[in-house]
């Protein structure tokens, strides 16, 4: 895990409590074709118990009251499981804290007066939409290219027909926890979706149910990666470092042997 405590804005130690003031440099871009640029805002004495997204909610209410367009960002569950949220905080996907989505960053982790630069995922495969929002539908198309077991409803054999050892089940589960947030792509200098694809291939490829289509799936998903404009693996493991679900990049090496 690469942590950069000097420019991360992270406060040393644990709970700061009380309130703090923050400088936000936020990427504003009304339309995909606009050039876009950073706009600075100051949040005065906000509660340290708020999450970063809640601080953005507060900023937006102030902007609305002032008649300005609020900052647009994707979000939904706010507990780190839906994968909707995601942007760079001081250059790092989901911020500096390990194993965390941006909705689970709390202000008490930052020092009073810190400047936080918020900008969207920047990669050709994720076209800009507005402000911090990008189009990640390429990830859905990757799944459509084979990230499933072809079994129609009603065709399933008994659930215990295939035994799966505990270790194998746990390993498959660990790769299946990918939430499709796109941080791995956004952090890769080649904008590769290798970790995303490897996670899905490893999830299904480790289980007996995934065997019949295993090689075809690997070829098809890899091919789709190229079609969508994702680059090849840059081997610098930044994807693993930013993954909120801590999916191991070892699976990318594993994937190289699949479907060949």
Partner 1 sequence: MSGLPDPRLPAGPIADAWRRTSEGLPLISPLRRRQMTVLVVGTGLAGASAAATLAEQGYRVRVLSFHDSPRRAHSVAAQGGINAARARAVDGDSVSRLFADTVRGGDFRAREAGCQRLAEISSAIIDQCVAQGVPFAREYGGTLATRSFGGALVSRTFYARGQTGQQLLYGAYQALMRQVAAGRVELLCRRDLLELITVDGVARGAVCRHLLTGALEVHTAQAVVLASGGYSNVYFLSTNALKSNASAIWRAYRQGALFANPCFTQIHPTCIPSGDVYQSKLTLMSESLRNDGRVWLPALAGDERPPAAIPEAERDYFLERQYPAYGNMVPRDVASRRARELCNAGHGVGPGGRSVYLDLRDAIAREGRETIEARYGNLLAMYERITGDDPITTPMRIYPAPHYTMGGLWVDYQLMSSIPGLFVIGEANFSEHGANRLGASALMQGLADGYFIAPSTVTAWLAGHPTPAITDDHPACREALDRARRRIAALLQVGGRRPVDAFHRDLGALMMERCGISREASGLRAGLQQLAELQQRFDSELGVPGSAEGPNPELDKALRVADFFGLAQLMLRDALAREESCGAHFREEHQSAEGEARRDDANFAHIAAWEFRGDGAEPLRHGEDLTFTALQPSIRSYR
Q: Under rule CB under 8 A, which residues in 66-125 are in contact with partner 1? A: 67-70, 72, 74-79, 81-84, 100, 104, 106, 108
The interface with partner 1 within residues 153-192 (CB under 8 A) comprises 153-160, 162-166, 169, 172-173, 176-177, 179-180
* 5, 111, 148, 226: which one binds partner 1 (CB under 8 A): 148
Whats the size of the chain, residue-wise?
A: 260
The interface with partner 1 within residues 7-36 (CB under 8 A) comprises 14-17, 30-31
The distance from CA 112 to its chain's CA centroid, rounded to whole angstroms, is: 27
Q: Are 120 and 87 in contact (CB under 8 A)?
A: yes
The interface with partner 1 within residues 208-247 (CB under 8 A) comprises 209-210
**Site for partner 1 contains 193 (CB under 8 A):** no
Could you tell me whether strands 133-134 and 128-130 are parallel, antiparallel, or unpaired per DSSP bridges? antiparallel
Q: Which residue, among 96, 89, 87, has the nearest Cα to 4 in the 3D structure? A: 96
Distance CA 63, CA 73 (A): 14
Q: Are 238 and 187 in contact (CB under 8 A)?
A: yes
Distance CA 119, CA 92 (A): 10
- Among 41-49, 87-95, 187-195, 231-239, the segment contacting partner 1 (CB under 8 A): 41-49
**Site for partner 1 contains 145 (CB under 8 A):** yes
The token pair that represents 72 in the structure block: 């647009």
Nearer to partner 1, 25 or 81 (CB): 81
Nearer to partner 1, 130 or 192 (CB): 130
Residue 131 CB, shortest distance to partner 1, in Å, is 9
* 118, 204, 243, 249: which one binds partner 1 (CB under 8 A): 204
* 130, 187, 192, 248: which one binds partner 1 (CB under 8 A): 130
Starting from the edge strand earliest in sequence, which strands make up the sheet with 88-89, in order? 37-47, 19-28, 115-119, 88-89, 92-93
């Amino acid at each position: 895990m690469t942590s950069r405590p000097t420019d991360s804005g992270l406060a040393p130690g644990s709970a700061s409590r009380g309130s703090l003031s923050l400088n936000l440099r936020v990427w504003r871009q009304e339309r995909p074709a606009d050039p876009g640029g950073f706009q600075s805002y100051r949040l005065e004495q906000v509660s340290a118990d708020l999450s970063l997204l809640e601080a953005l909610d507060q900023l937006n209410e102030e902007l609305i009251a002032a008649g300005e367009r609020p900052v647009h960002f994707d979000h939904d569950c706010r507990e780190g499981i839906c994968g909707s949220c995601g942007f760079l905080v001081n250059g790092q996907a989901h911020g500096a804290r390990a194993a965390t989505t941006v909705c689970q960053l709390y202000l008490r982790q930052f020092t009073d007066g810190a400047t936080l630069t918020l900008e969207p995922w920047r990669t050709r495969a994720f076209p800009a939409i507005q402000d911090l929002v990008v189009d990640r539908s390429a990830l859905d198309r990757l799944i459509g290219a084979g990230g499933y077991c072809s079994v129609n409803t009603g065709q399933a054999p008994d659930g215990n027909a295939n035994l799966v050892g505990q270790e194998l089940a746990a390993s498959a589960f660990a790769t299946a926890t990918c939430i499709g947030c796109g941080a791995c792509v956004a952090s890769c200098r080649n904008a590769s979706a290798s970790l995303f694809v490897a996670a899905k291939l490893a999830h299904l490829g480790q289980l007996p149910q995934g065997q019949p289509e295993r090689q075809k799936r690997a070829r098809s998903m890899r091919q789709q990666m190229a079609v969508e404009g994702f680059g090849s693996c840059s081997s610098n493991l930044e994807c693993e470092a930013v993954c909120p679900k801590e999916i191991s990049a070892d699976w990318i090496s594993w994937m190289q042997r699949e479907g060949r």
